[in-house]
Amino acid sequence: MEYGVLKARIIKGYREDDDGKSPHYQVVLEELVNKQENLFRKWKSPVNVKSKVGSGPESELLYFVDSNLLKQARAHQARAELWQRKLAALSALPEGFHPNPAESKNRDLALDYVRERYFERDEMNTMPATSPGAWDDLQDYIDFYLRRAVEAGDAVTAYVFGACFRAGGFPIGVHDVHMNQGNSGPYAHDNGPYQDGGLVLTSRHSSTAVGIFLAFQGQSFHTDDNGHPIAGPAQGQGPS
């Protein structure tokens, strides 16, 4: 996994309702390469909204949306301080994809649901990937925030955490925008600390930051130093 974070502007987001097996919410982003020459580079980010494992409710993803990462309850002020540090480090980056390899991991530019505990496991909910009504599926929620980002133009900056993927050896996008630890079986090779995916949107005008975090129901929130699930507290309690 070539883990890292993409800093760019969202120019389009659209649903996938016809792919019943493995739908994704598709995000198209634009990186400013040269301001003087007005040169941009496009990126894409397919965001999982359904698991290939199981069917019905078992295939629904866990999600947690924090509409203001910098405004936390008094009992969780450490979270606000954590995000202040992370967002300061992220804002200092130029646009583009920034690899963050395990051997030289910069934790301020990485996500870890378990060790940094942006939320508790039992605060996450599940929703179907697609449904005919309004506000009744996961893509509705993602679409709400991404459409607002598109409308805001360059006033909103997106940070997409995940794994870079390539075409012909050339990097073109970021996927695995979800938790990347606590896996068992065939997905265990994806495990690791400080390499979780997610989407953070910051607004220049309102000084707010939105966080969208996703996980699969089968992933454990109690992991060892290598991100592998271990016996112990129930899922969601995190490390002691």
What phi-psi label fits residue 87: left (phi over 0), alpha (psi between -120 and 50 degrees) or beta?
alpha
Contact 106, 199 (CB under 8 A): no
pTM beyond 0.85: the answer is: yes
Residue ranges covered by each domain of the chain? 3-215
Cα 200–16–52 angle (5° rounding)?
Answer: 85
Contact 214, 198 (CB under 8 A): yes
pLDDT tens figures, 201-228: 999 988 889 999 999 999 999 999 999 9
Question: What's the alpha-carbon Rg for the chain, to the nearest Å?
Answer: 17
Contact 79, 86 (CB under 8 A): no
pLDDT tens figures, 2-57: 999 999 999 999 999 887 788 999 999 999 998 888 899 999 999 999 998 888 89
pLDDT tens figures, 88-133: 999 999 999 999 998 999 999 999 999 999 999 999 999 999 999 8
